[in-house]
Amino acid sequence: MAAMSPPQLKIKLQIYCGDEIAMGPGKADLLDAIRREGSISGAARAMDMSYRRAWLLVDAMNRCWREPLVATAPGGAARGGGAKVTAVGERVLALYHDLQASCATAAGSEPWHALADALLDVPKASQKG
């Protein structure tokens, strides 16, 4: 009964630094939200994420790169202080989005069309041999 929906390719880019993820889709979304909301707590609320989780993601980013990607005002976001994406953070975010675009372009290619057009079907509800 599900509406027909075309097959969709999702590309997830994760930049690892040792065992830590220095940048990925979730962290990029969080940076975008901090830029919009002006604080970690506001960004967490907008993303329906706990403040603790948002803080841990920011902490990981700030440890993985040569310079912090997010700067917090004295007092900290928990007490109403603001947070902003640094110049380095803006650059990392822009390059990450460039990287996503390159991959998306590459993926709009021969193998994907062969997979999507010729082989993929809408899911059947169930199937017994």
Give the Cβ contact number of residue 120 at 10 Å.
Answer: 12
Nearer to its own copies, 46 or 81 (CB): 81
Q: How far is the CB of 68 from its own copies (least distance, A)?
A: 8
Q: How far is the CB of 80 from its own copies (least distance, A)?
A: 16
Q: How far is the CB of 2 from its own copies (least distance, A)?
A: 6
Nearer to its own copies, 28 or 46 (CB): 28
Q: How far is the CB of 122 from its own copies (least distance, A)?
A: 6
Cβ neighbourhood burial of 90 (10 Å; 0-12, 13-18, 19+): middle
**Chain contacts with its own copies (rule: CB under 8 A):** 2, 5, 7-20, 22-23, 59-60, 62-66, 72, 88, 91-92, 95-96, 98-99, 102-103, 105-107, 109-112, 114-116, 119-124, 126-127, 129
